[in-house]
Structure 1
Amino acid sequence: MTLPRVRACGWVAAAKAAQRRHQAEGAGGPRCPAPRSQRASLYIHWPYCEKRCGYCNFNKYIPRGVEEAAVRSCLVTEAQTLLLLSGVRRVESVFFGGGTPSLASPHTVAAVLEAVAQAAYLPADAEVTLEANPTSSAGSRLAAFGTVGVNRLSIGLQSLDDAELQLLGRTHSASDALRTLAEARHLFPGRVSVDLMLGLPAQQVGPWLGQLQELLCHCDDHVSLYQLSLERGTALFAQVQQGALPAPDPELAAEMYQKGRVVLREAGFRQYEVSNFARNGALSTHNWNYWQCGQYLGVGPGAHGRFLPQGAGGHTREARIQTLEPDNWMKEVKLFGHGTRKRVPLGELELLEEVLVMGLRTDLGITHQHWQQFEPQLTLWDVFGTSKEVKELLEQGLLLLDHRGLRCSWEGLAVLDSLLLTLLPQLQEAWQQRISTLVPRG
């Protein structure tokens, strides 16, 4: 895809300069891909929104005014600091999430991308995604983001029914959503993702499927289906608790999901992850890195990350959470270069549990080669090959364990949570058996 070349030249120039620098550092030897410990994705959290939606409990704020220059400076500083702390030399993808990052100025996006490209190797064709809401995303604004290097959009459409949008507290109408979607597809052909929610109070299967069919007449090559989760502290949760709204029906939500999967499959979409569907190869490479348990750095208030800090002996990956409240986060970034509030070392078993849970969310599952990158001694066959419970799941056609690895069938992908109730204890038992054989007996 060709994008307008205006401000993007700053990022591209920085990327090429970083590439020349890395090549110079490696002169005299063969050029090898960066090892896994030196590669990561980057998540940038913009915490501000125009209003809080009725279902949302994410870390977001509705400010009277935003000192964007100060926020921009802190995002740049924290990105540079975490790249240094992690020893990451290649950034595979960048995702601007929130909040509503389309409320930020393109200048902020450009500043972050240029800082990243100067601190590490950011390929000129790396996937750079921006989340956008229809009401904050006029065509001219989307075009401006394209000029600074954004090459993929994720649009929070949520519904094509105005009454449902009002129920959710969204500030856009169905016609707003379709107009923004058309403008986005014109600017980013083949690189636009849309979200559609299911399982809302009083929502029925037939009308929801009608929305999905209508969306297929307008959408690009990536659709995400998300079931509403009623979270304590949200307006929708309170309305259901007080009886003002009926509680969502889980049986109806399951039926929507199953029938929606079929509709998307018949429209040529591959369900490459539990909630995500793509055709024409339009997978989200950034999210794919999450599901493959790759490293990622979280920048911004409340952002999460998982990476191996430099100097940690090459063994312990950490889960990190940045300070939630933006003003406090900015104070910490100015003082320390980053606003990490919590660091949790991940044990070997914890990491394997993540590899299992995240990998099985995808249609490819976990290959033997991928598993061995995290656990070279205990194979998938060792863990699951002799289990009676796992054998029953294989016989039911919900799981497959073969020369490729372990994965869910198409039917199994829809009931992954129930499969994990068997698989996780099996992994824990196999791990404990292995540990017991390594402990010397007195």
Structure 2
Amino acid sequence: MTLPGVRALGWVKAATMASRRRLAEDEGGPRAPAPGSQHAALYVHWPYCEKRCSYCSFNKYIPRGVDEAAMRRCLVTEAQTLLQLSGVRRVKSVFFGGGTPSLASPHTVAAVLEAVAQATHLPADSEVTLEANPTSAPSSRLAAFGAAGVNRLSIGLQSLDDTELQLLGRAHSASDALQTLAEARRLFPGRVSVDLLLGLPAQQLSLERGTALFTQVRQGALPAPDPELAAEMYQEGRAVLREAGFRQYEVSNFARNGALSTHNWTYWQCGQYLGIGPGAHGRFVPQGAGGHTREARIQTLEPDNWMKEVMLFGHGTRRRIPLGELELLEEVLAMGLRTDVGITHQHWQQFEPQLTLRDLFGAGKEAQELLEQGLLLLDHRGLRCSWEGLAVLDSMLPTLLSQLQEAWQQRTPSPVPGG
């Protein structure tokens, strides 16, 4: 379907036919390319919102007016520049996040996707996700985003209780949320995800510094979350979802019928990703500029300043942080163990061909205790958490990271002065 004024990209039609494909395979998810690969995911940040939700700490702004044409041009320019700098030849997924990207025009989404398709290979079955809030996503608008190239929706329901929604500062009701969800499932069958908060103050919500809820709890206006109740709610939620046929493929992500997010899988497998837009983050090797080391990149936060930099330099990168070998391995370990697949031997060897997972975690006392308790598994497949271990990963990670750091230091001793 093509709507007036919105040009559907050629690859979108094929993507629709392939949208129900099952995702992989013997490792339980899409395969991540090697660290210096010419493959990457692309994240596009739309920084504007209608209002500030009390729990949100993301980079967002409530504008008096948005020059969307200027923002569109800058998003396109930065995408083209970073694709060239990275040397990326294939974009596996595109994720429009925010902020509230469903406030953007479908024309903006189509323009970014067209620019990506012209600059590199964007396969017909690439996952293209848009975050949407119920108040900004009526049926006709959702259909227009589909015509622009979106084939997956991530809807910010957060709660289906009107009292909780008011506390969270949301602009929609539970009824609005259910109506939007029904329309999304009709338009994007099998390609819809929702965000739900497990609890609130006096339950489980993680309070982020700088948010209204954080301030209210600190000032005593609201009770602090109860850690024990939080753990109980989390375990109950996992059990309910498993009974309903959902696979917990990551600590806080669940999917049914193989419909896991390929974009998020790239993050957890430490694949390359480019961050486009104000405040966006990226991780890639700037091969197109002759670089050989992976960099963490952070774009300028404030939209007007970011646009000025993009117009001057082609991109608004504010910080470039080269990642050392140990830092990269720490990310591989911490991110990979968040998934039910964990870290396979083959995947680890792409980043560290000398120290194997068995070398690192097969003999250490602390890791052995976790293995004996059944919280951690190390076998022919690799290293991963058990069902029970996923729930307490945060408490295990310091031990595992410390063991990795010690092994790394033993392998690479410090130079002796005066040698």
1:184 corresponds to: 184
Q: Contact (CA 8 Å) 1:47, 1:98: kept in 2 or not? A: yes
Q: Contact (CA 8 Å) 2:12, 2:149: kept in 1 or not? A: no
Q: Give the alignment's TM-score, normalised by structure 2.
A: 0.92
Distance between the aligned counterparts of 1:271 and 1:50, measured in 2? Answer: 32
1:50 corresponds to: 50
The residue type equivalent to 1:366 in the other structure is I
Q: 1:313 to 1:336 in 2, by over 3 A?
A: closer
The residue type equivalent to 1:342 in the other structure is R
Q: Contact (CA 8 Å) 1:11, 1:110: kept in 2 or not? A: no
Distance between the aligned counterparts of 1:13 and 1:156, measured in 2? Answer: 24
2:170 corresponds to: 170
1:67 corresponds to: 67
1:211 corresponds to: none
1:26 corresponds to: none
The residue type equivalent to 1:253 in the other structure is A
1:433 aligns to 2:392 (yes or no)? no
The residue type equivalent to 1:9 in the other structure is A
Q: Could you tell me how far 1:8 is from its partner in structure 2?
A: 5.2
Q: Contact (CA 8 Å) 1:230, 1:236: kept in 2 or not? A: yes
1:309 corresponds to: 286
2:328 corresponds to: 351
1:332 corresponds to: 309
Structure 2: gaps of 5 or more residues: 16-31
Distance between the aligned counterparts of 1:330 and 1:60, measured in 2? Answer: 15
Q: Could you tell me how far 1:199 is from its partner in structure 2?
A: 3.0
Q: Could you tell me how far 1:9 is from its partner in structure 2?
A: 3.5
1:130 corresponds to: 130
Distance between the aligned counterparts of 1:113 and 1:419, measured in 2? Answer: 40
1:91 aligns to 2:91 (yes or no)? yes
1:273 aligns to 2:272 (yes or no)? no
Q: Give secondary structure in 2 for the equivalent of 1:268.
A: coil
1:415 aligns to 2:414 (yes or no)? no
Map 1:158-307 → 2, pairs under 5 A = 158-203=158-203, 228-307=205-284
Could you give the per-residue CA deviations for residues 306-354 of structure 1, whole angstroms, max 9, x where no partner exists? 0001267664100000000000000000000000000000000000000
The residue type equivalent to 1:229 in the other structure is S
Q: Could you tell me how far 1:94 is from its partner in structure 2?
A: 0.0
Could you give the per-residue CA deviations for residues 135-154 of structure 1, whole angstroms, max 9, x where no partner exists? 00101100000011100000
Q: Give secondary structure in 2 for the equivalent of 1:54.
A: coil
The residue type equivalent to 1:379 in the other structure is T
Q: Give secondary structure in 2 for the equivalent of 1:198.
A: coil
Distance between the aligned counterparts of 2:198 and 2:329, measured in 1? Answer: 31
Q: 1:194 to 1:72 in 2, by over 3 A?
A: same
Q: Give secondary structure in 1 for the equivalent of 2:287.
A: coil
Q: Contact (CA 8 Å) 2:9, 2:149: kept in 1 or not? A: no
Q: Which has the higher contact order (CA 8 A, sep 6+)?
A: 2
After TM superposition, the structure 1 stretch with the greater mean CA deviation from structure 2, 236-245 or 427-436, is 236-245
The residue type equivalent to 2:8 in the other structure is C
1:320 corresponds to: 297
Q: Contact (CA 8 Å) 1:15, 1:122: kept in 2 or not? A: no
Q: Give secondary structure in 1 for the equivalent of 2:180.
A: helix
Residue-pair matches, total: 400
Structure 1: gaps of 5 or more residues: 17-32, 204-226
The residue type equivalent to 1:368 in the other structure is H
1:116 corresponds to: 116
Distance between the aligned counterparts of 2:62 and 2:181, measured in 1? Answer: 25
Q: Could you tell me how far 1:202 is from its partner in structure 2?
A: 3.4
2:23 corresponds to: none
Could you give the per-residue CA deviations for residues 137-176 of structure 1, whole angstroms, max 9, x where no partner exists? 1011000000111000000000011000000000000000
Q: Contact (CA 8 Å) 2:86, 2:289: kept in 1 or not? A: no
Could you give the per-residue CA deviations for residues 254-308 of structure 1, whole angstroms, max 9, x where no partner exists? 1100010000000000000000000100000000000000000000000000000
The residue type equivalent to 1:387 in the other structure is G
Q: 1:188 to 1:159 in 2, by over 3 A?
A: same
Q: 1:441 to 1:402 in 2, by over 3 A?
A: farther
Distance between the aligned counterparts of 1:195 and 1:244, measured in 2? Answer: 26
Q: Give the alignment's TM-score, normalised by structure 1.
A: 0.87
Q: Could you tell me how far 1:187 is from its partner in structure 2?
A: 0.3
Q: Contact (CA 8 Å) 1:45, 1:303: kept in 2 or not? A: yes
Q: Could you tell me how far 1:10 is from its partner in structure 2?
A: 3.1
1:362 corresponds to: 339
